[in-house]
A and B are shown apart, each in its own frame.
Chain A
Amino acid sequence: MIEISNTPAYDTEALQERVRELLGSRIVAERTYRGDLTIEVHVGSLLGMISALKKSAELDMNVVVSITAVHWPDEPLEYELVYHLRSLTRNLFLVVKTRVAREQAAPSLTDLYKTANWQEREVYDLMGVKFSGHPDLRRILLPEPYPWHPLRKEFPVEGPDFPIDAYQTDAAGKVVGDDFWDGAEEGKS
């Protein structure tokens, strides 16, 4: 039987202090906005830190509510991964963010939370962020041969204006030219 709590164990300031105590100098930046605490970490220390947040008895972040990504095409580290963590037993809510470059893989949380499996597949499918250590990183919403990741900012909202079979696949069945604009040039020529 898992005892949940209907009153938050800490308010935002106290939560901030606990998180600081636990993670210390590994936090790159922190911000409280509209009552929610957000911490930013380096992608290298992400797995260790989320694992520490989960194992900590004081915070007990036992649920990943959502995993998503934000695309900032003009910045060197293009993808901002956003993890919303929640503790059912302590009734706490925390946002963890990290940044990865376009071809850089982020660590997968599948070993810690089973929900990460599908949610990371969704991020990979729609954004193109790869997760290292994921057991089954396939597309989930779009068909497997689909060449683009439509939530990237360069993808036009009305979709590409040329047929999908204008694209070449390699021997493994993988579409050549994963990038939308590279593909567009090939398709038009």
Chain B
Amino acid sequence: MWSEAEVTETDDAGGEREMVLNIGPQHPSTHGVLRVIARISGEKIRTATCDVGYLHRGIEKLIENRLYYQGMTFTDRTDYTAAPAGNLGYILAVEKLLGIEEEIPDRTHYLRMVVMELARIYGHLVWIGTHALDIGAMSVFLYAFREREKISGLFEEGCGARLTTSYMRVGGTGRHDDPPGWLDHVMEFTENFTLDDFDTLLTDNEIFRARTIGVGRISAEDAISFGLTGACLRGSGVAWDLRKARPYCRYDEVDFEIPVGEDGDVYSRFMVRLNELYQAIGIIRQSVEKAYELRGEPTEIENAQVTMPQIERVTGWEPTGETGDMEAMIAHFKLVIEGYSPPPGDTYQGTESPKGELGFYFVSDGSGTPYRCHIRAPSFVNLSCLEQMVEGVLLADLVACIGSIDIVLGEVDR
């Protein structure tokens, strides 16, 4: 459909000149490898067609050919701006498939929520920086990445990795994912974290408002029909959030509000995400308090079929004179080689990731690898509304629209 002959100026019946303009896939304001083929007349976009898939790695197929615990590493690489959000979606889905979600200890849930909300801030900071950069506000990017660096440091302190975290484990958190003093550092971060920089630079910025208010409108009906989730849906005035509607972890135990926009334009989506950052800080603080209270409680379930035995029990531990335990060694060996086998059946678990509803659909045939794994990627579904959103807008507003949907191409293409 994009033959050479078409990529020229043509006269249509009305005498208006029309041309086809290719945007991307290597263009900074398409946020990755998104290609948009815009049919423009003057500066107005008549129709736009998205071309995605440049980053397709076949993650679903790869997960289907690996053990359950191995599949989690791929979820770091879907939404790579907020890797723990993908990890959480994956492990909650596997826990639901195994039927152990009721057994997960409270402390684990709160630690997961701390990491999850840090990931939300982590993801939103990339978005606010690049979105503002697209519209011409350069300095916001630097402030956003200054704050983001602190969260990278917290992730590194917690799990050893900065970007591809693989933070959580099925059945609990990683054993060393809550090192001494880490919660204090998280608390310190929330105390020092400020959104004033972004607020003063963008919220009342005349140029930013002129570029975003009334641009890229999506009505509530269309947003629902397109299956939009996350800030794209809430920006259109629908206060749907899975953390409230279908609470997972312990989101029903903490206080937070759902920011909602009214107009469904780029500015509404901006305000929703900005306010989500405030709410995320509140959730982190409450979760850290709860985790303090539950200090010393277990962070993993007692189920040798799912969670690894203590490494000291497997190998022995010289300082205490402890010798290895044969049973622990067998359990460890079987878990690493065979993994665990959920009973045959299929489950879907959706979580509210920074981008929207991230869902994992698993089909188990009773073996150690998933028979089918489908990732319901929020970026993919949200991006599908772009073609309608940009009809009739100016070409310069296209980048504002793309930025406001907040896509990550690793998740769109999987």
Answer whether residue A16 sits at the interface, using C-beta atoms and an 8 A cutoff: no
- Please name 20 further chain A to chain B contacts, defined as beta carbons within 8 Å, in addition to the given A65-B357, A82-B361, A141-B52, sorted by A numbering: A1-B220, A4-B239, A33-B347, A34-B97, A34-B347, A36-B348, A38-B346, A66-B348, A66-B376, A82-B346, A84-B359, A84-B376, A115-B384, A118-B381, A118-B384, A140-B52, A150-B61, A151-B61, A157-B61, A157-B62
- A-B contact count, CB below 8 Å? 107
User: Within the assembled complex, what's the spacing in Å between the Cα atoms of A95 and B372?
Assistant: 16
User: Within the assembled complex, what's the spacing in Å between the Cα atoms of A188 and B371?
Assistant: 29
- Given the known inter-chain contacts A115-B381, A157-B61, A157-B65, please indicate yes or no for A70 contacting B227, CB distance below 8 A: no
- B384 A1 Cβ-Cβ under 8 A: no
User: Within the assembled complex, what's the spacing in Å between the Cα atoms of A126 and B64?
Assistant: 14
User: Within the assembled complex, what's the spacing in Å between the Cα atoms of A140 and B377?
Assistant: 14
Task: List which B39-68 residues lie within 8 A (CB) of chain A.
Answer: 52-53, 56, 58, 60-62, 64-65
- B376 A65 Cβ-Cβ under 8 A: yes
- B245 A150 Cβ-Cβ under 8 A: no
What are the 9 A-B residue pairs with the smallest beta carbon separation, nearest first? A115-B227, A141-B53, A66-B376, A118-B384, A68-B374, A114-B225, A157-B65, A141-B56, A70-B372
Partner of B227 from the list A33, A63, A141 (CB cut-off 8 Å) is: A63
User: Within the assembled complex, what's the spacing in Å between the Cα atoms of A27 and B385?
Assistant: 33
List, in ascending order, chain A residues with CB within 8 A of B106's CB: none
Residue ID in chain B nearest A38 by CB atoms: B346
- A140 B53 Cβ-Cβ under 8 A: yes
User: Within the assembled complex, what's the spacing in Å between the Cα atoms of A150 and B56?
Assistant: 12
Residue ID in chain B nearest A91 by CB atoms: B245
Answer whether residue A181 sits at the interface, using C-beta atoms and an 8 A cutoff: no
Residue ID in chain B nearest A157 by CB atoms: B65
Residue ID in chain B nearest A119 by CB atoms: B381
List, in ascending order, chain A residues with CB within 8 A of B222's CB: 114
- B359 A66 Cβ-Cβ under 8 A: yes
Answer whether residue B311 sits at the interface, using C-beta atoms and an 8 A cutoff: no
Query: Shortest CB–CB separation between residue B71 and chain A, in angstroms?
Result: 13
What size tier do the contact residues of chain B reach? 35 or more
List, in ascending order, chain A residues with CB within 8 A of B397's CB: none
List, in ascending order, chain A residues with CB within 8 A of B267's CB: none
Partner of A118 from the list B239, B244, B380 (CB cut-off 8 Å) is: B380
- Given the known inter-chain contacts A34-B99, A150-B58, please indicate yes or no for A115 contacting B225, CB distance below 8 A: yes
- Given the known inter-chain contacts A65-B227, A115-B227, A141-B53, please indicate yes or no for A33 contacting B346, CB distance below 8 A: yes
User: Within the assembled complex, what's the spacing in Å between the Cα atoms of A33 and B240?
Assistant: 25
Answer whether residue B85 sits at the interface, using C-beta atoms and an 8 A cutoff: no
Answer whether residue B350 sits at the interface, using C-beta atoms and an 8 A cutoff: yes
- A18-29 vs B: 1/0 string, CB under 8 Å? 000000000000
Answer whether residue B345 sits at the interface, using C-beta atoms and an 8 A cutoff: yes
Query: Shortest CB–CB separation between residue A61 and chain B, in angstroms?
Result: 11
Partner of B53 from the list A64, A113, A142 (CB cut-off 8 Å) is: A142
Answer whether residue A6 sits at the interface, using C-beta atoms and an 8 A cutoff: yes
User: Within the assembled complex, what's the spacing in Å between the Cα atoms of A34 and B65?
Assistant: 24
List, in ascending order, chain B residues with CB within 8 A of A65's CB: 227, 348, 350, 357, 359, 376
Residue ID in chain A nearest B247 by CB atoms: A6
User: Within the assembled complex, what's the spacing in Å between the Cα atoms of A70 and B344?
Assistant: 14
Answer whether residue A5 sits at the interface, using C-beta atoms and an 8 A cutoff: yes
Query: Shortest CB–CB separation between residue A85 and chain B, in angstroms?
Result: 11
User: Within the assembled complex, what's the spacing in Å between the Cα atoms of A33 and B361?
Assistant: 13
- A127-165 vs B: 1/0 string, CB under 8 Å? 000000000000111110000001100010100000000
Answer whether residue B250 sits at the interface, using C-beta atoms and an 8 A cutoff: no
List, in ascending order, chain A residues with CB within 8 A of B225's CB: 62, 113-115
User: Within the assembled complex, what's the spacing in Å between the Cα atoms of A151 and B370?
Assistant: 13
User: Within the assembled complex, what's the spacing in Å between the Cα atoms of A82 and B56?
Assistant: 22
User: Within the assembled complex, what's the spacing in Å between the Cα atoms of A142 and B357?
Assistant: 24
Answer whether residue A51 sits at the interface, using C-beta atoms and an 8 A cutoff: no
User: Within the assembled complex, what's the spacing in Å between the Cα atoms of A1 and B223?
Assistant: 12
7 chain-A/chain-B pairs, Cβ below 8 angstroms: A5-B245, A63-B224, A82-B374, A91-B246, A113-B225, A119-B227, A157-B65
Task: List which B282-310 residues lie within 8 A (CB) of chain A.
Answer: none
User: Within the assembled complex, what's the spacing in Å between the Cα atoms of A119 and B377?
Assistant: 10
User: Within the assembled complex, what's the spacing in Å between the Cα atoms of A4 and B350?
Assistant: 17
Answer whether residue B237 sits at the interface, using C-beta atoms and an 8 A cutoff: yes
